[in-house]
Every structure is written in structure tokens, then in C-alpha cells.
Amino acid sequence: MQYEITLPADYDMAIIHKRVADRGHLMDGFAGLGFKAYLVRTTPVNQYAPFYVWTDTAGMNRFLWGGGGFTGLVDSFGRPAVDHWTGVALRRGPDTEVRAATRVRAPIPAEAELTSYVEDQVAALRRVGYASVLGIDPYRWEVVRFTLWDTVPADEPGDRYQVLHLSTSGELADYGFHTPEAAVVVT
């Protein structure tokens, strides 16, 4: 799941940094959360754009409309559109400090055979930082690959973000779309 709050060009991004410093820890240990990466970017726009991986939909529901942290965000910035994808695969990398993130979104070609296409996308997750997640939106037929890094390789494509804080809850194991026990919801 990800929502993007685009802020004015002259917005003082220190306000967002302080907000995350003051409140980010509140999601640490949140039941049903795999991880939440508190993301900002200032190029090409000022934006606060957190990304979540949920281990169950109950946690996501509790966050969005069960009195969880989303209420405070809505009170401050209004109700953003929330993108969400069906989780396809997650690959964990080494436990390292997470400082950056990349996101690649792309339409799935209409002529693509879906099983082969998804298998190829899962195979592309081998090059990971702290974690790399693959999700698909079957409404828009879009694929998203989101990766957390200590340092982003210079040749890595996609939108680039600074990670201000990473909240986690419990262990987050690798999974793939062929694994019957795959139960992580990327939203």
C-alpha cells in the first residue's frame, strides 16, 4: 500500500521530518504490519509517500479505518488516494540500515502471458537491498517493484526516496507466488 502526499514547492520538508521523528515509532510492532517505510522525496516534487507491506488484511483495515494512525494523517493532509497491489513476492536482503528506497511501476503488456511474465518479474527480485517486494494491480494491470536500500546502486531505475524511519513487526520471511503459504498482503 502506498499513498503520496504532494506538497507545495516551498513547503518546509523539515515539518515532515519532525512529524516522522515524533510519530514514526508508533507503528513499530503494529499487529499485521510487515514493514512501513516512511518515505520522502524533494525531486521532482516535495512528497511524503510511505509504503507498507501488510502480513494480513486485518492489520491494514485496523490502520485505515479502525482508529489506527491513518486518522492523524487525514486530519493533517486530507484523505489521499491509497494505491494497493496484490502481493506476489518478497525477497529479504541483509539486515542493514535502510536509508533509501526505489519504486518501479510499469504497465503489464497486453500481449504478455501472465504466468511467464510474473515468473520473470519474480526472478528480477534477486538483486535486493534490505528487502524487495513485487506487487500487481490487476485492475490497472500494473506491476510495482519496491526496494529498500542502504545505498541505491547508480544504475538502479525508478523513483527514488529517502527513508526517514522503518517500522517493522515481527519476522518478515521471503515468499513467492508459487508458495502455498504466501500470505503477505502488499498494499
pLDDT at 20 over 50: yes
Q: Which whole number is the average pLDDT over 20-46?
A: 94
Cell digits for 161?
Answer: 526516496
Helix and strand tally (H, E) in the chain?
A: 4, 10
d(CA 145, CA 126): 12
Lowest-confidence pick of 46-50, 115-119, 171-175: 171-175
Q: Which whole number is the average pLDDT over 108-134?
A: 90
Q: Which whole number is the average pLDDT over 40-47?
A: 96
Residue-wise over 62-77: b if at least 16 C-beta within 10 A, else e?
bbbeeebbbeebeeee
> What CA–CA distances, in Å, run from 122 to 2, 82, 95, 134, 140?
20, 24, 21, 7, 19
- DSSP letters for 79-92: ----B--EEEEEEE
Sequence-separated (6 or more) residues with CB below 8 Å from residue 13: 7, 40, 42, 46
pLDDT: is 169 or 60 the higher one? 60
Band of residue 6 on the pLDDT scale cut at 50, 70, 90: very high
d(CA 89, CA 69): 26
Total domains, the chain: 1
Band of residue 182 on the pLDDT scale cut at 50, 70, 90: very low
- DSSP letters for 14-70: HHHHHHHHHHGGGGTT-TTEEEEEEEEE-SSSEEE--EEEESSHHHHHHHHHSSSTH
pLDDT at 49: 98
Q: Which whole number is the average pLDDT over 2-18?
A: 97
Instruction: Indicate the SS3 state at residue 102.
Output: strand
pTM over 0.85: yes
- For the domain that residue 58 is a member of, what is the CATH number? 3.30.70.100
75-104: pLDDT as tens digits: 999 999 999 999 999 998 888 899 999 999
Residues spanned by the domain of 75: 5-186
